Structure 1
Amino acid sequence: YAQTFTYAQKIKAEFVVVHTNEGYHGEAAAVKELVYQRLTEVISLAQSYGVQVVIENVGLRPCGSLLFDFEEYLALFERYPQALALLDTGHAHVNGWNIPETVKRLQKKLLAVHVHDNDGSGDSHQPVGLGTIEWEPYFASIRDYAPNALQILEYAYIEPGVLTEHLQKLESRYGALRF
């Protein structure tokens, strides 16, 4: 982590994303305690480098890797007020979270969003509009509660020329957000 934060400092990175877990083995309560301990250490180290840590909502219920549910994820920011949030729309959708409500609850804690679509059964990283996420309420909540949140398109694949056109359509339809 020290090398990561040194490099982030060098390139003047706006933030470093931290995952609480990918998969995990053992009793969830014991794993959560380990994650809390490690987050405390990582956030403290990041602060010593002047680097902002953002915690991403990770884990997928269908895969058995969801360690922190909706309320537990939100509680991380009460426990670690110096950390900010990175919301992954695909993970949230697969896990059944109300994405606009998540944005509303995070508000100024929401620094960035991994924006991508899926059908709710798996994390397929499809372009906006190719899955079943309702995007109008999502973008409305971003405009209302977190207008400065960085929207990061996290797509599995899209042709470069098509991406430019896609981004223009998103900006035209949903407004000038921070993409």
Structure 2
Amino acid sequence: MKYFISDLIVGISHFSEFADWIDSQHQSDFGIEFTAFTHDKDYWERLSHKVPQMACPMTFHGPYINIEATSPLDSKEHDWLMESYNRVFALAAPNGVRHIVFHYSQLQFNEDEIPSKQKNAYAVMRDLTKLAKRYGVNCVIENLCRQKHKTHLFTNEEYFDIFQNIPDAVSLIDIGHANVNKLDIEKFLYEYGKRVKGFHVHNNDGITDQHKDYHKGTADIRQIMHWVGKYTNDADIVIEYEPHEKLTHSELIDEIKELKGWVEEGIG
């Protein structure tokens, strides 16, 4: 297993300094998850310059601003999504990036829209899975959080089905989203654990997606880390907090050590 902290905690204005701090730790199993935005030309250029300088392990969160996988397949929006992920995969592949996170939708829908929107998302997931294989990278499909209004694109059961229907697809389990959605994490790992390449670790009240410190919420993170150790193989464990979580560098290091200890309890 390798352990990461998402640069979400510092925001895009400070990602470079945060990356420098993580790199300075010189730990072969500790690294950073970069947010690989493509919509901002200046940001993309800075990221493209930074990534090859890094010695620590890296993962990417794929682009999700101005990106929508349920868009019509003959639309400019679809073309931009595919162009964006080509760029991201091309940056990831030669730099040893361990996974790239994909969101199958940023939207919410009326019930009658769901079949056509799912069809479009499936086409994108199949195409990105094939494209990732050609680049030699892992494009991981994240379980997303249900929406407050209207209808979520995939139910928990339909999230399971993605990996039945796309045999080469790989997964990232977002623990905070699973806590809100009541996704049965142990069942998913029992069935698909070897295809789970990463986890986003954060917590919430079980009602809304809050991206809090994993000690602050209703999800039993220690138990979940035991399942990670039991069912998965060389997965990436990524702390993913929003900037409202004001942890010091020392506190973040302590959390990484704690998560590592819990995973090792599960392996043992």
- Give the TM-score category using the shorter length: 0.7 to 0.9
Kindly indicate whether the alpha-carbon contact (under 8 Å) linking 1:21 and 1:59 is maintained by their aligned counterparts in 2.
no
SS, match of residue 47 in structure 1: helix
Give 1:95-174 correspondences, 5 Å limit: 95-156=181-242, 157=245, 158-174=247-263
Q: Give unmatched runs, 5+ long, in structure 1.
A: none
2:173, 2:196 within 8 Å by CA — same for their partners in 1?
A: yes
May I ask how many residue pairs the two structures share in their alignment?
178
Taking only aligned residues, the RMSD between alpha carbons, in angstroms, comes to 2.2
Normalization by structure 2: what TM-score?
0.60
Equivalent residues of 1:90, 1:118 under 8 A apart: yes
Equivalent residue for 1:56? Answer: 142
CA contact (8 A) 2:108 2:147 kept: no
| AA matched with 2:102 | V
- How far off is 1:56 after superposition? 0.6
1:120-178 CA-partner distances (Å, limit 9, x unpaired): 1111111222100022331221122115222111122222221122223333455378x
Residue in 2 that maps onto 1:70: 156
Residue 173 of structure 2 is matched in structure 1 by 87
Distance 1:8 1:81, change over 3 A: same
Higher relative contact order (CA 8 A, sep 6+): 2
Q: Which deviates further from its counterpart, 57-66 or 72-81?
A: 57-66
Bigger Rg, which one: 2
Q: Which runs of 5+ in 2 are unaligned?
A: 1-84
Question: Residues 58 and 65 of structure 1: is their aligned pair in 2 closer, same or farther, counting only changes over 3 Å?
Answer: farther
Cα deviation digits, residues 18-52 of structure 1 (max 9, x gap): 11111144511110011111222222222222222
Secondary structure of the equivalent of 1:62?
coil
- Aligned-pair distance for 1:62? 3.1
Change (3 A) 1:47 1:160: same
Percent identical across equivalent pairs?
28
Contact 1:59/1:67, CA 8 A, preserved across alignment: no
User: What is the match of residue 81 of structure 2?
Assistant: none
Alignment CA distance shift 1:24-1:164 (3 Å): same
